[in-house]
């Protein structure tokens, strides 16, 4: 069992600092506590390592900027700002790809729900750069998977799976998996898109959870689409 940390809560000063700064809004009390911790000698490599591992470095960067980076070494600030800029650029490209797919699916009358990623960041924070994202995930109804796959291929996506599934094998794919991956390549950026028709792995076929999700789904816009 872990002993209690220097803050009396079981966390080290570095962990406590990260917990305070990995949030969308700083209350005056949280800000005061954070400033007090930032005035101590901290292991910044440890903070950065944990911020990367938990995908919260965009919040850390933005909140430290709001506070004026007190007590943060110059090289740590440079590294953190570079990480934040790179994440923002990657998310902008992922959002552009998602918008393109949403438009094409809308034109084809295919219902689609973006899962996680930049759409979740936009919904929760109003800022797509505040979440660390590596790909695009979308959910479509089972009956639309074949049509959605054809549209993605027509948009320049490639099948990412080693065992490529052709149209004749689509029923087997639907019964044996919950997603299928596609890759989109440009000169500047290669992105992964995962096409889902279910939301969880199960021991036996059961569509009730997904059916309930679609029954409760409501129209919403993502950047105007």
Residue 168: per-residue pLDDT? 62
Task: Name the nearest CA neighbour of 138 among 102, 165, 107.
Answer: 102
Looking at residues 73-83, what average pLDDT do you find? 97
Question: What CA–CA distances, in Å, run from 198 to 48, 109, 119, 123, 169?
Answer: 35, 19, 18, 21, 18
Which residue in the block uniquely carries the two structure tokens 């919904």? Answer: 123
How far is Cα 194 from Cα 205, in angstroms, rounded to an integer?
20
Residue 162: per-residue pLDDT? 64
Query: What DSSP letter does each residue of 59-119 carry, written as one string?
Result: HHHHHHHHHT-TT--HHHHHHHHHHHHHHHHHHHHHHHHHHHHHHHHHHTT---EEESHHH
Query: What DSSP letter does each residue of 180-198 carry, written as one string?
Result: EEEEEE-SS-EEEEEEES-
Task: Specify the 3-state DSSP secondary structure of 41.
Answer: coil
**What are 159-192's pLDDT values in tens digits?**
987 656 666 677 788 888 899 999 999 888 999 9
Looking at residues 5-11, what average pLDDT do you find? 63
Band of pLDDT at residue 1, cut at 50, 70 and 90 = very low
pLDDT for 2 beyond 50: no
Looking at residues 116-144, what average pLDDT do you find? 95
Looking at residues 116-121, what average pLDDT do you find? 95
What does pTM read for this prediction? 0.87
Structure tokens at 62: 């933005």
In the sheet that 179-185 helps form, which strands lie side by side, from edge to edge? 113-115, 136-139, 190-196, 179-185, 158-159
């Amino acid at each position: 069992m872990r002993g209690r940390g220097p803050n009396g809560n079981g966390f080290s000063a570095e962990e406590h600092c990260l917990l305070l700064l990995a949030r969308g809004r700083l209350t005056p009390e949280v800000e005061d506590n954070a400033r007090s911790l930032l005035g101590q000698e901290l292991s910044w490599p440890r903070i950065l390592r944990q911020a990367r591992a938990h995908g919260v470095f965009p919040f850390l960067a933005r909140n430290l900027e709001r506070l004026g980076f007190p007590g943060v070494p110059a090289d740590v600030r440079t590294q953190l700002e570079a990480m934040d800029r790179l994440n923002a650029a990657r998310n902008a490209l992922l959002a552009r790809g998602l918008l393109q797919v949403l438009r094409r699916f809308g034109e084809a009358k295919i219902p689609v729900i973006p899962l996680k990623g930049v759409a979740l960041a936009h919904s929760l924070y109003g800022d797509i750069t505040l979440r660390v994202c590596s790909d695009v995930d979308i959910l479509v109804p089972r009956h639309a998977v074949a049509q959605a796959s054809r549209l993605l291929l027509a948009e320049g996506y490639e099948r990412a799976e080693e065992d490529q599934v052709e149209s004749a094998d689509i029923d087997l794919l639907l019964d044996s998996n919950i997603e299928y991956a596609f890759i989109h390549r440009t000169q500047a950026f290669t992105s992964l898109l995962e096409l889902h028709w279910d939301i969880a792995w199960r021991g036996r076929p059961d569509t009730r959870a997904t059916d309930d999700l679609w029954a409760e789904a409501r129209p919403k816009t993502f950047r105007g689409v």
